[in-house]
Amino acid sequence: MEQLESRRLLAGVWQNPRNALDVDDSGIASPLDALQVINDLDDNGSRQLPLSRPALAAYLGREKVPDEKRCQEPFIDTGYFFG
């Protein structure tokens, strides 16, 4: 019997659970969602994402943001693989 390679499943914290293509969690998938993913790839390159999503302010390098103004960064893993 052939043994399969081991696969690591991630919790999917970088993917919107309601709609994987709705990167900004606005309720609809739009061209702006694609632009956010493209901009992230342009700014940070292709990489393995951390296991948790930091607050948006920390992600953008802003340290002193009141808790009520902090939000999660975009769901940049659309989870669609073509190939």
Q: What is the pLDDT of residues 3-58, one digit of tens each?
A: 766 555 544 788 888 898 999 888 899 999 999 999 999 998 998 888 877 766 55
In a domain, 3, yes or no: no
Residue length, the chain?
A: 83
* pLDDT at residue 66 is higher than 70: no
**Structural domain of residue 48, as residue ranges?**
9-83
Domains: count for the chain:
1
Count, in order, helices (H) and strands (E) of the chain.
2, 0
Q: Is the model more confident about 76 or about 3?
A: 76
In the chain, what is the greatest distance between 2 CA atoms, to the nearest angstrom? 57
In a domain, 14, yes or no: yes
Burial 13-49 (b: 16+ CB within 10 A, else e): ebbbeebbbbbbeeeebeeebeebbeebeeeeeeeee
Q: Is the model more confident about 39 or about 59?
A: 39
